[in-house]
Chains A and B, each alone.
Chain A
Amino acid sequence: MSRSKPMTRWMTTALAFAFAGLAHAADPIKVGVVTPLSGSYAPIGKQVRLGAELAVKEINAAGGVNGRPFELLFEDEEANPSVAVRKAEKLLQQDKVDLLTGTVNSGATLAVGQIAERNDRILVTTVSYAPSITGAQCSPNVFRVNANAFMQSSALTSWLIKNVPGKRYFFIGPDYEMGRSTIAAFQADIKRLGGTDTGSSFPPLGAKDFTPYIGQIRAARPDVIMTATAGNDTVRLLTQLKEYGILASHPHLAGAAGAVTQENIGAMAGAAEGFLSAAGYAIDIDTPANKKFVAAFKKEFQTEPDLFGADTYGLFYLFKQAIEKAGGTDTAKLRAAMEDASWETPQGMKTMRKGDHQAIVDMVVVQVKGDGFRTVGRVPGNEAVGPDNCDRF
């Protein structure tokens, strides 16, 4: 619809008016998807789009929601909050969508969430992981169905403390706001769980030479090195750790989910072997629901789903369940229906927490093996989710 020609649009509108009396029950449920379709976040936006399209195709083929089909309207937010807000207003005020989703970077989610609140509609993010979205800056109109940064950290650290023998931890993260806050979360969790913090260092973002920090790491004799670097920074950090012989004593490597990815794993020539991280989804989760989802996704799009595709796919089953329970798309009723929902997703059952609108998701711990990842453990969602810090509603 969003990419149809204006002429088709006019005709659809005209037809819609003509049949308004007859076809009232079949009015589509419009879902606005504001997601990056261009720029460096486009791969994430693509997974969001494919996940949404697959779910909508399945639900509509099975008769829709109370006989009403889902209709998706996509807008490119360019990973820029001012564009996202502009597009969200268009979807809300011009296209009159019933629900919003798709925002990727946390700034855009926060800003669009506020617009949704001011327009009395609901936004659900399936990607943003800043804890503040369901914490200090929570909104009665914003929900999150993916795991947040806090959950990634607490799931990983609790798994490490249980399964890794040594208790000495060293932390290394890029020197900017995001890097420091990720490391701070790791440190707090490790201390809480009884590990020893042997030190931390913050090389500048994009650092070429980690030599000054390697002496510090060697002196700290850590059992586990945790990092929050990303992309090429991880490549340089891990290969230099290997060159300096730090990895010869086999410390465990662990870190943020974005540190080692399919994109940079090949460049490290084995230096990342054994790297552990926690996420809300792994493609090899061994359940019938996930196998069915992965097979359908591959058949439909000839590509593999990732975390973002799976979370967005799962969201539409929450929408379906909540709209059926609320008997329509009235925002207040829909909010009430979503607040205590439990629903089936490729990851297993997710449960929405009423107090802060954060979904409780079982976490998986994955480990680098060769040029891929394998699941080595699961952490139940209620162990990882942490306290409810929202006091606005």
Chain B
Amino acid sequence: MLRTETSRFRGASWSWRNAWPKVGERLMRALASPDPRPLRGFGLLMLIAAAVFPCISGSFYMRLGIESLLLGTVALSVDVLLGCAGLLSLGQAAYFGLAAYISALMYLHVTRSFWLVMLAVIGAVAVFSLALGAVAIRARGVYFALITFSAAEILSKIAHNTREIGGSDGLIGIPIPSIALAPGLDIDLHNNTAFYYVVLAALTLIYLGTRRILDTGFGSVLRAVRDNADRVSFLGYNPFWYKLFAYVMAAQIAAFGGMIYPLLRGFVAPHLLGFEVSTKAVVVSLMGGIGTLLGPLVGSIIVTFLESVIGSYTERHLFVLGGIFVVFVLFLPDGLFGLARRLAAKRAEHRS
């Protein structure tokens, strides 16, 4: 209902002067799913599949699974911003990479306590995302995308040119720590199976937490801000604070993946902050289905596995992946989850 009223309001105030940002907003709104309700059954199925995966896979695929879940956090954070707040960020890798560098430097020079590192990462990312978010979300549409993109590039260049943190070569030698889950219960991350389940459990919690937060009144206001920020402010809410909260929350989600990455692969490098990681997160979110939260995670897993498998058979793997993306954009603009939802709706219609 809000939606139809919104467009009438928009039609009245349309002018050439501010047409371009609105085109951007509209595009994003079209991409965002109209119905953010979860496909619960499908989610549960995915979780079961993920839980039994280590039983059938060797160490390489298990570790690839961990990496795909970690990259999935960037996709999830893109979706929180784009799907719920209508903000297209092209710089979410900034938080993934920032957390990766903080985590790497702390394990190398300060402490081996997982929880201390986590506290430092959460603190640093909160400060940085509040500062950058407060500037960036004042801009709309494509300008927001440009600011987030530039900030990530600046961080990447700083990492690239600072010899003390490894310069262009990055840092290696990051130890593989144990996580003290409870007194006397240490999880040794040398064990790939344990590592996998820790990451899977953490990601499930993050997903459910995000879902819970977005299902509250806060989420509803956020979606209203996405649809028409001006109107929301007439209702007595300040859109700024809602967007800022969503921005900080998304940053923390991506930072979680970044914090674990160096423990898996043993190194950090400037490109973790770069454009490639950011844009890939947007692309896999589109493939999975924007606004579904679960879709981007699934998209990330599929693309990470595809990249790894196709690359072994042909040098033209980028061409194949590019082709798959084009097919998605042309024929499945609402992604895999959009397709699943349409099929489910069709079946329900058929039954009634």
Binding site for B on A (CB under 8 A): 2-3, 5-6, 37-38, 75-76, 80-83, 85-87, 89-90, 92-94, 105-107, 110-111, 113-115, 118, 130, 132, 137, 176-178, 181
Contacts and interface: CB of A to CB of B under 8 A. Distances in A.
Contacts of A110: 169-170, 172, 267
A38 B266 CA distance: 25
A380 to B, nearest CB: 29
A89 B308 CA distance: 11
Most buried by A among B58, B161, B317: B161
Given A107-B169, A107-B170, A177-B161, A89 B60 contact: yes
B243 to A, nearest CB: 31
B58 A81 contact: no
Is the contact region of chain B dominated by helix, strand, or loop, or is it mixed?
helix
Given A3-B313, A81-B271, A111-B265, A86 B308 contact: yes
A130 B271 contact: no
28 contacts: A37-B315, A80-B271, A82-B265, A82-B271, A83-B307, A85-B266, A85-B267, A86-B64, A90-B64, A90-B312, A93-B60, A94-B58, A106-B168, A107-B168, A107-B169, A107-B269, A110-B169, A110-B267, A111-B265, A111-B267, A113-B172, A114-B173, A114-B266, A115-B266, A118-B266, A130-B169, A177-B163, A177-B167
- Going nearest first, the 6 A-B pairs with the smallest beta carbon separation are A93-B60, A177-B167, A111-B267, A107-B169, A94-B60, A37-B315
Given A87-B311, A132-B169, 7 more contacts: A75-B312, A80-B271, A81-B170, A105-B168, A111-B266, A115-B265, A176-B161
Contacts of B272: 82
Contacts of B58: 93-94
A81 B313 CA distance: 20
A94 B61 CA distance: 8
B315 A76 contact: yes
Contacts of A83: 307
Contacts of B276: 80
Most buried by A among B160, B163, B172, B266: B172
Nearest to A132: B169
Contacts of A118: 266
A177 B267 contact: no
B318 interface: yes
A107 B318 CA distance: 22
Contact of A3 (B64, B169, B271, B314): B314
Contacts, number: 93
A111 B167 contact: no
Interface of B: 58-61, 63-64, 67, 160-163, 167-170, 172-173, 265-267, 269, 271-272, 276, 307-308, 311-318
B315 A93 contact: no
A137 B267 contact: no
Contacts of A107: 168-170, 267, 269
A308 B244 CA distance: 51
Contact of B315 (A38, A81, A86, A106): A38
A97 B312 CA distance: 14
B308 A114 contact: no
Contacts of A177: 160-163, 167-168
A89 B64 CA distance: 9
Contacts of B162: 177
B30 to A, nearest CB: 32
Contacts of A105: 168
Contacts of B168: 105-107, 177-178
A75 B314 CA distance: 9
A114 B267 contact: yes
Given A38-B315, A75-B311, A82 B269 contact: yes
Contacts of A114: 172-173, 266-267
Contacts of B315: 3, 37-38, 76
Nearest to A81: B269
A109 to B, nearest CB: 9
Nearest to B267: A111
Contacts of B308: 86-87, 90
B19 to A, nearest CB: 35
A80 B275 CA distance: 13
Nearest to A205: B161
A291 B271 CA distance: 41
Nearest to B60: A93
A75 B313 CA distance: 9
Most buried by B among A86, A106, A137: A86
A105 B167 CA distance: 13
Contacts of A6: 313
A76 B317 contact: yes
Given A176-B161, A177-B168, A111 B269 contact: yes
A176 B312 CA distance: 35
